[in-house]
Amino acid sequence: MAQRFEVLRGLFGLLPTPYGEDLEIHTGDLRAAADFCCRSGQHGMVWPVMVGEFYFLGEEERV
């Protein structure tokens, strides 16, 4: 299993989930955060993070 995790080396940004007052995800803001991660030289992104907003996501949004 150690070989499997070698691929995950580097800097990974933890993306927040931007919600509006209606609890809908603001996809434009999420896209902007992902773009920032790409432009800043990160090796990958983590979303959704397993704390906080994860529990507000519906099943289709989690996949």
If DSSP codes are grouped into helix, strand and coil, which group holds residue 47?
coil
- In the predicted model, is pLDDT for residue 2 greater than 60? no
CA distance 41 to 60: 29
For residues 13 and 60, what is the distance between their CA atoms, to the nearest angstrom?
A: 22
Q: What is the pLDDT of residue 39?
A: 95
Question: The tokens of 4 are what?
Answer: 């499997």
Residue 52: predicted pLDDT: 60
Instruction: Give me the residue spans of the domains in the chain.
Output: 11-62
Tell me the per-residue pLDDT of 3-30, one tens digit each, with 9 for 90 and over: 666 677 889 988 888 888 888 889 999 9
pTM for the model: 0.66
**pLDDT tens, residue by residue, 24-37:** 889 999 999 999 99
DSSP type of residue 21 = T
Number of neighbours of residue 55 by Cβ within 10 angstroms: 9
